[in-house]
Amino acid sequence: MAGVISLKGLSKRYGDRTAVEDLSLELKPGAVTGFLGPNGAGKSTTMRMILGLDRPTAGTALVGGVPYHEIRHPLRTVGALLDARAVHPGRSCRAHLLALARSNGIAGSRVEEVLEAVGLADAAHRRAGALSLGMSQRLGIAGALLGDPEVLMFDEPVNGLDPDGVRWVRRLMRSLAGEGRTVFVSSHLMSEMQLTADHLVVIGRGRLIRDAPLAEVIADSALTAVVVRSPHAGDFSVRLAAAGVRVERSGENELVATGAGIERIGDLAYEAGIRLHGLSTREASLEQAYEELTAGSVEYGARKAEV
């Protein structure tokens, strides 16, 4: 159970509004799990319940088999960044981290290590209130890393970072997961999540929509297709349609097939005695797959502009 985040029937209601409803998940070590959903989907509320900041209306949230509030030295087990600005503005970066370290029995020398790791060694004496958003994110990440925890949670960690900072966060997440830690990160940047995550959890209106490996989510998109090149494209299109595969002609000798994987298409060609000159997969982007999954779950959307 070490490092495992387990949610069972987790729900949170505020009056007559349901923020999270009957959410059950198990997040395991050794992977970056991306947490996706539209604005108002319940992502931040879920993370807050895991960390004991919000009390569930129903269900449980456990880290390593116990509720967060039962962990004796929480920063040694769970490191989290939920709000980069939630720091006393008058404290220096070093003073902020030293206070966290002392409250959790962490050696002061660890403060210097994490300041160096996140690129803030030269800004150690600057007041937190004077930091840019990107530097505040780095300070928040330093706080999450302070206790060398086995579980790390980040809510929108790349907000305010420049391209170099975004790449640094990506490498950091991959490195932490590679060390066998549980990494749970929310983001609205689909292109970055596609490069970072191993597994995805997608929610909408507080409900679970998808819990699957990233590759599987993309492969299941209606926009992921198999491109077939064959001198017998016309005959093969009839055979594919009879097998329940959706087919479009994209050229005299080329087809685009959806609804079946490349292995299935190849098998059908073999069974029909169809000569192939090419067979390749055209993958959807994570953004396209995400839009399909959440199409009916967008709570706060702008109207289309009228021209």
Task: Catalogue all structural domains in the chain, each as residue range(s) with its CATH number.
Answer: 5-211 (3.40.50.300), 225-282 (3.30.70)
The answer to whether 3 and 156 are in contact (CB under 8 A) is no
Q: What is the pLDDT of residues 14-67, one digit of tens each?
A: 999 999 999 999 999 999 999 999 999 999 999 999 999 999 999 999 999 999
The residue with tokens 């491109």 is: 227
How sure is the predictor about 304, in pLDDT bands with cuts at 50, 70 and 90?
low
Q: What is the pLDDT of residues 108-138, one digit of tens each?
A: 999 999 999 999 999 999 999 999 999 999 9
Res 290 pLDDT > 50: yes
Looking at residue 238, its amino acid is V
Res 202 pLDDT > 70: yes
Q: What is the pLDDT of residues 173-189, one digit of tens each?
A: 999 999 999 999 999 99
The answer to whether 24 and 10 are in contact (CB under 8 A) is yes
Res 1 pLDDT > 80: no
Which of 70, 83, 12 has its CA nearest to residue 41? 12
Query: Which residues face 8 on adjacent strands?
Result: 60
What pLDDT was estimated at residue 73?
87
The count of residues in the chain is: 307
Q: How many CA atoms lie within 13 A of 219 on its CB side?
A: 9
Looking at residue 149, its amino acid is P
What is the C-alpha separation between 81 and 155, in angstroms, rounded? Answer: 6
How sure is the predictor about 307, in pLDDT bands with cuts at 50, 70 and 90?
very low
What pLDDT was estimated at residue 283?
87
Which of 50, 68, 34, 20 has its CA nearest to residue 188? 34
